[in-house]
Amino acid sequence: MSSQPTMTKPLNKIPRTREIATVGLFGALSIVLTIFSNLLLKLAFVPPVNYLLFDFGEIPVIVCFLIIGPRAGFSVAVIEWIALNLLPTTTPVIGPLFKFMSVSLTLAGLWIGWKLFRKSSMNAKFAVSSIVSASFRSAVMTLPNAAFLIFSFHIPASGYFYFLLELTAVFNVLQIPFDFVPTYILIGLPQVKQMLRKNGMTWFESGSISHTV
């Protein structure tokens, strides 16, 4: 029995009302996980940049992006950004803004990986998107982080200054698997895929190659 590659087509586009409801649901989940990450768990990176916290709130953003599309994903990112502005932080305004920029760069890398490899398997898309997102996030955020260290902490350009930037870049790279691995596992579950297909939430399968026996 031979296996023939076929193109997997997404189901019909979901109704606008369902998209809004789903964005609201994932936005609320993002807020809950953000509060859990920032106030309860506080999974901090290594000193002296232990003010950087790994955020579970990014996972619903990634999931919503993949199952509905870029517009929905960025909408959830905005909801998370608003929530961060309402939470207590040592860096009001700047901290949430940098977080929003980081998440947006992650989504941009995800979109590029999915579009450039739209006819590849989901494994390939995740692999490429991980590399692109990590590169975008670590490279682009270097400049604003440098400005933050200079103007907020008055740290001069020195060996210690560049060391802090390197650690921050490493953190941004590590946040990608922190986001993508749970997302990959969740979307890959047969029961979840079946539920998503039933509800037309299959943006992540657009143009993908699957195999039928």
Q: What confidence score (pLDDT) does residue 89 get?
A: 81
CATH number at residue 81: 1.10.1760.20
Q: Which residues of the chain fall below pLDDT 70? A: 1-12, 207-213
pLDDT digits (tens, 9 = 90+) for 15-33: 899 999 999 999 999 999 9
Mean pLDDT, all residues of the chain: 89
Tokens for 142? Answer: 């270097």
Q: What confidence score (pLDDT) does residue 88 get?
A: 82
- The residue whose two tokens read 């950087």 is 52
Total number of domains in the chain: 1
In whole angstroms, how far apart are CA 163 and each of 48, 113, 190?
10, 30, 44
Q: What confidence score (pLDDT) does residue 208 get?
A: 55
pLDDT digits (tens, 9 = 90+) for 101-121: 999 999 999 999 999 998 899
Q: Residues 105-144, buried b or exposed e (16+ Cβ, 10 A)?
A: bbbbbbbebbeebeebebeebbbbbbebbbebbbebbeee
Q: What confidence score (pLDDT) does residue 1 get?
A: 44
Q: What confidence score (pLDDT) does residue 210 get?
A: 44
Rounded distance between C-alpha atoms, residue 166 and residue 163, angstroms: 5
- Segments forming the whole domain that contains residue 55: 4-212
Q: What is the pTM of this model?
A: 0.88
